[in-house]
Amino acid sequence: MEYKLYLLFYKLGNSYISENINPIIEKGNVLENWYYIIQIVSGIFVIFGTIIAVGQYLLACNDSKKTREREVSLHEIEVAELEKDRIQKAIDLRVSLKIILLQKHIF
């Protein structure tokens, strides 16, 4: 069964090559044909490369946006913590100054 399928595909492939590729080779210069084949393959690689580059650019933009949002939220948290620490230090300073002033007036 597999042999018959292989033989069928082989015959179809050979008939396709003989009908489509062989006349091209017979008509013109082989070097010129290779030039055109290489140009087509190069064009395909350029197209795929461009698609991949645009996709990477879009992923990088999206990731950059998320990173920026994360940094802003972290900055807001840090600012809130610094403000909380500043208020706590002011309260501690007020308490210590109050104790010092009370000690001076009592003694």
pTM, rounded to two decimals: 0.41
Contact 16, 8 (CB under 8 A): no
pLDDT digits (tens, 9 = 90+) for 54-100: 999 888 887 777 777 777 777 788 888 888 888 888 888 888 888 88
Report CA 12 to chain centroid distance, whole Å: 43
pLDDT digits (tens, 9 = 90+) for 7-64: 555 565 556 555 555 555 555 677 777 888 899 999 999 999 999 999 998 888 877 7
> What residue numbers bound the domain in which 82 lies?
2-106
Return the pLDDT at 48: 94
Return the pLDDT at 17: 55
In 3D, which of 37, 15, 16 has the Cα closest to residue 28? 37
Assigned token pair, 90: 């002011």
Q: How many domains does the chain have?
A: 1
Contact 24, 33 (CB under 8 A): yes
Q: How far, in Å, CA of 16 to CA of 9, rounded?
A: 10
Assigned token pair, 81: 């913590």
